[in-house]
Structure 1
Amino acid sequence: MTGRQPRIDYVTKDYEGFKQGMLNQIPLLLPDWTDRGESDFGVVLVELVAYVADILSYYQDRVANEAFLPTATQRRSVTELLRLIGYQIDPGLAASAVIHVDVSADHDVDAAQLPFQVRTAGRPGEANVRFEVTRAFNLRQLNNRISLAAVAALPGGATAVELPPDAHRLAPGDEIYLEEQAQGAPRPRRSPLLTVTTIRRLANGDDEVSWLPPLPQPFTPAVTSLRGNNVTATHGATVTDEPVFVADGTSGQRFALARTPVTHLLGKENTGRRRSRPELEIRVDGAPWQQVESLFASGPADQHYATEIDENDVLTVVFGTGARGSVPPAGAEVRARYRVGLGVVGNVGAEALTVPTALAEVTAVTNPFPSEGGADRESTAEAKIAGPGSVIAQERAVTLEDYRLLAEGLAGVGKAKARVGLRGGYKVVQVVIAPENPNTVPPPPPSAELRATVARHLESRMPVNRMAGVEVLDPVYVPIDITVEAHLRAEAGQSQVIEQVRLLLNGLLAFPAQDFGRPVRAGDVFSALFPVPGLEFVLLRRFGRRDRPATDAATLADIPIGENELAFAGTIVVVPVGGVR
């Protein structure tokens, strides 16, 4: 090409830039075109081309961003990118609850009567939350309520009680609890759930019923009863009318389940990168096939299937290729039986599950303790951290960061911090954990069961002869008291500004925003309150830990938090100055 070459601005990415760039080329390429009015047909074409170029430029940027994990924003992109490293975004967990059942006669709930379902009574406009028992269990009328009035004492630390043989039908392995109904008390006081370990016939003819763990506090026998007939139920409802999938005999067949979200429960041993498994049964021509995490290790004759979950929580069943996993033959009927329901919606309060499956012998049901363990699906932001972390840790605990990542990967653990400590003169790894999704202030400590689970999980992955073991410790929750003097503009309403300031300060100290050892900075307070409409400026009059003396307002500094400590919102006081009452 001869003549002067057009100069192209390759960083132009928007409509105005494209339009101006084309208009700048007109004198060079078409000097006789002098009309730049909006009504000119050529200008209309320039604007249309600029419009299309702007759209294509946006798509170009989005495609580039979605191709890399740090810049991807769409859940589908993150899901597919993490699948390349074998990481499945966690779909969430279903809650579990202990159900107490009163019966008018002994009854054995067998496979034909399963699932045994209980649900909340429901409020107008609210959906019922359904729980199911999916294994056979026995109910005995004598175990409804066993009076302990004849027992001499029930001190704290007690692990056994004597009962007449005709007063109970308990058996080793049964789950029980004690319930004390004091006169005038609005609600009964209950012990934690106990497990019957042994039943021994004594010389006087009575049965000694032993349990673990020991009672944490004393009970008054005269108003205390022992409650049996307890069974564990999990959040979810069974789907039995799923459409039949007819296999075509091809390699890598797959089909998607019709309903979401599929119930996921925590496995007994958390050995893979996925902390839960779906409540799903697949039968091909009536024969059950086995679910595996990956078909990579499956042989040609192995009747295995794997599952995938997309960005919309739709679960897809994937069969083998013939080389890795067997192929369902053409014409085979594939039937799926599964359950749907999970998440924090299943974390219901005590005595909320009161509507049972219709059984003639069942007179009443309830959950004596709040349900727990329900967790929503892993967020995109969490997955972008946990996915690469799973590759770094490789299910082995070598560095302190490995211990932290492995602990936080367990169900029920919201935050973790690892450090080296001493036990009996030997080095141990001390892991401080905080429970997941706390909805109370102050947050609760981790349960003994959760601490034991974390310890077993980490000790099975630590190198030999490196440390003497793992200690799982409770966190130290530190209440942070803040008093803010909020100076308002003349036209600003006090109530609205106070409410927004209080909301922002509580959010600043909320569980997701804090971490072990992270100091609470005064600058973060000012930064959080800066955008509040109607707020002219603020003064911090109190900013400190509740367990330490108040700091003089003129010398306010960042609040130090220890490596085993976690800050939370204490007393938040907002003092308005000016504005409209």
Structure 2
Amino acid sequence: MDLACLVDPRRDAVRRTPGRNGLDYVEVGDHDAPTLYAWFLGKLPPELQVNQPGLEQYLALAGGDRITGLRILDVDPQVADDPGRDDYLVITLDRTGDFSTYTLSLVGVANIDPRYASADFHFKVCCPAEVDCKGSCACPQPELDEPQANYLAKDYASFRQLLFDRLAVTMPGWTERHVPDLGVTLVEILAYVGDYLSYYQDAVATEAYIGTARQRISMRRHARLVDYRMHEGCNARAWVQLQVSGQLELPSAQTAFITGLNVPDSLRQPMMAIEAVDRLPAGSYEFFEPLPSQPPGTLMLLPAHNSIAFYTWGRRECCLLAGATSATLLDQWIVTGGDGDAEGTLTRALALQVGDVLVFEEVIGAKTGNPDDADPSRRWAVRLTSVEASEDSLYPQVVQEGADSVATPVVEIAWAVDDALPFPLCLSTLGAAPDCAYLVGISVARGNILLVDHGRTLPPEPLPPVPGVTDAGCCDCEGQPRDVSTQAGRYRPTLAQAPLLFAQPLPQPPGAAAQSLTQDPRAAVPALALIDSDGQAWTPQADLLASVADDRDCVAEIDNEGVAHLRFGDGELGRAPTVDSSFSASYRIGGGTAGNVGAEAISVLVLSDFSVSGVTVTVRNPLPAFGGIAPEPIDDARMFAPLAFRQQIERAITAADYAEIAGRNPLLQRAAAQLAWTGSWYEADVALDPLGGAPSSPELLQAVAGQLYRYRRMGHDLHILPGVRVPLTLSLDVCALPGYERGHVKAALLARFGTGLLPGGQRAFFHPDALSFGESVFLSQVIAAAQAVPGVQCVQVTAFHRCFEPARHEIDDGVLPLAANEIAQLENDPDHPERGQLSIRVAGGR
């Protein structure tokens, strides 16, 4: 019977019925001794239970194509001792069959079920095959008579016409084309749906490529695949000063600032409650908040820090030079305690500490003494690295009437080289004629400085719960369904407020003040904190490529409208949220170029759940806010992303690769490398040239070696060594122009060929950072540099060679060549003649 079924309950029924039996299946044994194993449904029938001659009469073997007439030579019953196990017969044949189907039948055996009276088998069932041995579905689904699709139909009009054409074939009697007709309405609805799906299909195809993507999220993901991080901008930062009339403790968590309102000065309030700010138009101010301090908590504001005078130790007409990294501040004695004739205790007014920030500011004009003439560009912020209290007993001061004078208290301060003054800061000078008055206090130091950044923190926002997708499962057997499972569905919540703020975290401990305002937008992270219903925190990341299955990470992706979409892990790249769990989002909004406000723009203190009484507070930002960057445009990412991986070398193969990767160290000016054959393999010899001509310390050599090791090519050894300094001997005969003092001309030439900085910040000819590896010194450059000095008429070079070595025709050749790992050096230090010697003889002039 040509009947195929997936389930056979009759087999179990025969096994359970007493006295009922039949063949279950037949197995083929070894080919060398043709053997069949005939398994029965339970125990053997009584006719076959005893091993005796003549059992072959109960079995019949038929079938075969090329090999027929197989004979049964022997039958051995195999009765199992366990009543729960099936019995079988071992049947020995005279030979094996071919690839066709054979049938083993039971003959003359009582109580055999007719459906299991015979069993088919194949002798070649163990032959290797490349296809699945399982049969196809017995009842295949009928093929649908689908119309041929017109793939040229892509819009509403073409879909509408396509439907009418199809209806003309299937319903030739329907010819209605009026719009009010219900059939026409249904056709137009289907055409609209087709038009929408067609647009969606085209949009998906458009977003699949970096060259055509129009959505910001798509472009961001494509760019990340080629190691390009598309940034979302960052917020601006500013230094804010708070001038107070008395000591004040201000909680940083309940403090904020806004820019001045567009109202007359008489109506402007220096302090406002947060509730009053919320009633203002959103576009009438910019919101700033203090950056987290270490340790966070209370800001201590002192009136003595409002304006701090510089101390010049009795000298007059002074200024802090460009590049200065230290100064002296004038302190004041404060008398505490004491009653009547009793003298009180003297304490210092200033309470500066290492890590505090001061802003140096010119407050009056250096010529007129008028505050309106102060130069607003003469303002600079520094972070203190050293604070030492001292006294000047030569110029004492009277603190208390009737008491003896005491030494003047001063504070010695210093700051990092990165905060060095970029301009001279005038402290005292003579005013303009005809008064020629002596002007002091031209510049002061401002304390009570706070670092703030643009943006506002919002109250926690509840996000929708994670949806669940229920899998109803399928039926394993009749009446036995699989377990119903519920898994987390697609969860992409969005934040209600926009734009989400991005900012680069401050280093800890904070660095120089000049670096505190600068941010790298590609290192900026979203100001977002997520807490799930179990109280666990989830960390925002730039992507989930480095997240593992247990990491509670998420990604904030910004769309074209500035709305933030949150994406979580899938259980492999980051933890997947559980079903029905919920999240609470705390985040800040703001950022971009809107926070780049000018100096003196921030002028209002905003308090939340806090009030100030008895103390007046004045807010100002002496310096403009800086660092606000808008999100990277999609077109910029489309242009730069495909080439980004070519600009950042990630493998060192050639000598130039080793030099470039080593040069990424911020302590180096440059590095040079060459590949040397050792006889068995190559060795990368990398020479270092530190900034400022500093020696290559063992720590620096070790750091560069560790940096290069991960980039080196397999089989290359690394050898990091300092650059070779080549001292030079240079002698010049100079003729000065008439009217120029020979000594002045020689001094100018010594400065020009020195190792320091010239007026205006230009490097001298032999400044350590002006020359580097393999830069040969050309005679024409030396003559041009000397001729550029005022008062020089002509120059003749009389000596131009390496120190302690004979000349090798460098003057005739016009160049002193250097090898790839050599650096020219000429310090002209009489204590160290081995570092280069310079001789200048000036004639003429006067």
Structure 1-normalised TM-score? 0.55
1:332 and 1:69, CA in 2 relative to 1: closer, same or farther beyond 3 A? closer
| TM superposition shift of 1:224 | 1.8
Residue of structure 2 equivalent to 1:194: 382
**What aligned pairs does 1:275-290 form with structure 2 within 5 A after superposition?**
275-284=523-532, 285-290=534-539
1:85 and 1:215, CA in 2 relative to 1: closer, same or farther beyond 3 A? closer
| TM superposition shift of 1:73 | 3.4
State the alpha-carbon separation in 2 of the partners of residues 84 and 463 from structure 1: 21
User: Which digits, 9 at most, give the CA deviation of each residue in 1:412-470, with x for residues without a partner?
Assistant: xxxxxx9xxx9799589xxxxxxxxxxxxxxxxxxxxxxxxxxx9xx97996789999x
Say yes or no: does 1:69 pair with 2:210. yes
Code of the residue aligned with 2:289 in structure 1: it is E
Instruction: Give the SS at the match of 1:208.
Output: strand
| TM superposition shift of 1:265 | 0.5
Say yes or no: does 1:292 pair with 2:541. yes
Residue of structure 1 equivalent to 2:325: 159
1:426 and 1:68, CA in 2 relative to 1: closer, same or farther beyond 3 A? closer
1:214 and 1:338, CA in 2 relative to 1: closer, same or farther beyond 3 A? same
Structure 2: unaligned runs, 5 residues or longer = 1-148, 163-168, 170-183, 264-280, 333-348, 394-409, 429-439, 469-486, 508-517, 675-702, 713-717, 723-846
Residue of structure 2 equivalent to 1:317: 566
Residue of structure 1 equivalent to 2:406: none
1:387 to 638, 641, 646: 641
Residue of structure 2 equivalent to 1:185: 372
User: Which digits, 9 at most, give the CA deviation of each residue in 1:199-219, with x for residues without a partner?
Assistant: 224464732122341362131
| TM superposition shift of 1:104 | 2.6
Residue of structure 1 equivalent to 2:247: 106
| TM superposition shift of 1:328 | 5.4
State the alpha-carbon separation in 1 of the partners of residues 460 and 228 from structure 2: 31
| TM superposition shift of 1:10 | 9.0
- Are the aligned partners of 2:503 and 2:521 in contact in 1 as well (CA < 8 Å)? no
| TM superposition shift of 1:148 | 2.8
Residue of structure 2 equivalent to 1:530: none
1:362 and 1:87, CA in 2 relative to 1: closer, same or farther beyond 3 A? farther
CA RMSD of aligned residues (A): 5.5
State the alpha-carbon separation in 1 of the partners of residues 209 and 445 from structure 2: 58
Residue of structure 1 equivalent to 2:358: 176
User: Which digits, 9 at most, give the CA deviation of each residue in 1:18-65, with x for residues without a partner?
Assistant: 9999xxxxxxx9xxxxxxxxxxxxxx99xx99x989998877765544
State the alpha-carbon separation in 1 of the partners of residues 424 and 519 from structure 2: 36
1:218 to 420, 425, 428: 425
| TM superposition shift of 1:297 | 4.0
Say yes or no: does 1:148 pair with 2:285. no
Q: Indicate the larger mover: 231-240 or 180-189.
A: 180-189
User: Which digits, 9 at most, give the CA deviation of each residue in 1:240-267, with x for residues without a partner?
Assistant: 1412555679558553222111110024
| TM superposition shift of 1:327 | 5.2
State the alpha-carbon separation in 2 of the partners of residues 273 and 217 from structure 1: 32
Q: Indicate the larger mover: 67-76 or 12-21.
A: 12-21
Code of the residue aligned with 2:287 in structure 1: it is R
2:502 to 264, 268, 271: 264
1:64 and 1:235, CA in 2 relative to 1: closer, same or farther beyond 3 A? same
Structure 1: unaligned runs, 5 residues or longer = 1-7, 22-28, 30-43, 407-417, 429-455, 470-581
State the alpha-carbon separation in 2 of the partners of residues 204 and 214 from structure 1: 25
State the alpha-carbon separation in 1 of the partners of residues 719 and 205 from structure 2: 44
1:423 and 1:162, CA in 2 relative to 1: closer, same or farther beyond 3 A? closer
Code of the residue aligned with 1:194 in structure 2: it is V
1:108 and 1:300, CA in 2 relative to 1: closer, same or farther beyond 3 A? farther
Code of the residue aligned with 1:198 in structure 2: it is S
- Are the aligned partners of 2:599 and 2:623 in contact in 1 as well (CA < 8 Å)? yes
1:423 and 1:274, CA in 2 relative to 1: closer, same or farther beyond 3 A? closer
- Are the aligned partners of 2:525 and 2:541 in contact in 1 as well (CA < 8 Å)? no
State the alpha-carbon separation in 1 of the partners of residues 203 and 594 from structure 2: 34
State the alpha-carbon separation in 2 of the partners of residues 67 and 175 from structure 1: 50
- Are the aligned partners of 1:273 and 1:390 in contact in 2 as well (CA < 8 Å)? no
- Are the aligned partners of 2:460 and 2:587 in contact in 1 as well (CA < 8 Å)? no
Instruction: Give the SS at the match of 2:213.
Output: coil
Residue of structure 2 equivalent to 1:363: 617
Q: Indicate the larger mover: 233-242 or 388-397.
A: 388-397
- Are the aligned partners of 1:172 and 1:198 in contact in 2 as well (CA < 8 Å)? yes
Higher relative contact order (CA 8 A, sep 6+): 1
1:396 and 1:133, CA in 2 relative to 1: closer, same or farther beyond 3 A? farther
Residue of structure 1 equivalent to 2:727: none
Instruction: Give the SS at the match of 1:138.
Output: strand
1:232 to 451, 460, 463: 451
State the alpha-carbon separation in 2 of the partners of residues 95 and 399 from structure 1: 41
**What aligned pairs does 1:294-443 form with structure 2 within 5 A after superposition?**
294-302=543-551, 304-311=552-559, 312-326=561-575, 334-358=583-607, 359-360=611-612, 361=615, 363-392=617-646, 396=650
State the alpha-carbon separation in 2 of the partners of residues 251 and 57 from structure 1: 30
- Are the aligned partners of 1:107 and 1:138 in contact in 2 as well (CA < 8 Å)? yes
| TM superposition shift of 1:91 | 1.7
Instruction: Give the SS at the match of 1:383.
Output: helix
1:82 and 1:466, CA in 2 relative to 1: closer, same or farther beyond 3 A? farther
Percent identical across equivalent pairs?
A: 27
State the alpha-carbon separation in 2 of the partners of residues 424 and 90 from structure 1: 29
- Are the aligned partners of 2:250 and 2:300 in contact in 1 as well (CA < 8 Å)? yes
Residue of structure 2 equivalent to 1:121: 260
State the alpha-carbon separation in 2 of the partners of residues 290 and 220 from structure 1: 50
Instruction: Give the SS at the match of 1:382.
Output: helix
State the alpha-carbon separation in 2 of the partners of residues 334 and 245 from structure 1: 7
- Are the aligned partners of 2:388 and 2:413 in contact in 1 as well (CA < 8 Å)? yes
- Are the aligned partners of 2:311 and 2:329 in contact in 1 as well (CA < 8 Å)? no
Say yes or no: does 1:131 pair with 2:285. no
User: Which digits, 9 at most, give the CA deviation of each residue in 1:266-291, with x for residues without a partner?
Assistant: 24689999431011122234443433
State the alpha-carbon separation in 1 of the partners of residues 302 and 217 from structure 2: 51
- Are the aligned partners of 1:102 and 1:141 in contact in 2 as well (CA < 8 Å)? yes
State the alpha-carbon separation in 1 of the partners of residues 452 and 247 from structure 2: 20
Code of the residue aligned with 1:377 in structure 2: it is P
User: Which digits, 9 at most, give the CA deviation of each residue in 1:282-322, with x for residues without a partner?
Assistant: 223444343333444444444x2211314233223344444
State the alpha-carbon separation in 1 of the partners of residues 218 and 670 from structure 2: 50
1:363 and 1:188, CA in 2 relative to 1: closer, same or farther beyond 3 A? farther
State the alpha-carbon separation in 2 of the partners of residues 268 and 54 from structure 1: 51
Residue of structure 1 equivalent to 2:684: none
- Are the aligned partners of 2:548 and 2:575 in contact in 1 as well (CA < 8 Å)? yes
State the alpha-carbon separation in 2 of the partners of residues 282 and 17 from structure 1: 49
- Are the aligned partners of 2:526 and 2:556 in contact in 1 as well (CA < 8 Å)? no
User: Which digits, 9 at most, give the CA deviation of each residue in 1:503-554, with x for residues without a partner?
Assistant: xxxxxxxxxxxxxxxxxxxxxxxxxxxxxxxxxxxxxxxxxxxxxxxxxxxx
Instruction: Give the SS at the match of 2:328.
Output: strand
Larger radius of gyration: 2
Structure 2-normalised TM-score? 0.40
1:268 and 1:234, CA in 2 relative to 1: closer, same or farther beyond 3 A? closer
Instruction: Give the SS at the match of 1:384.
Output: helix
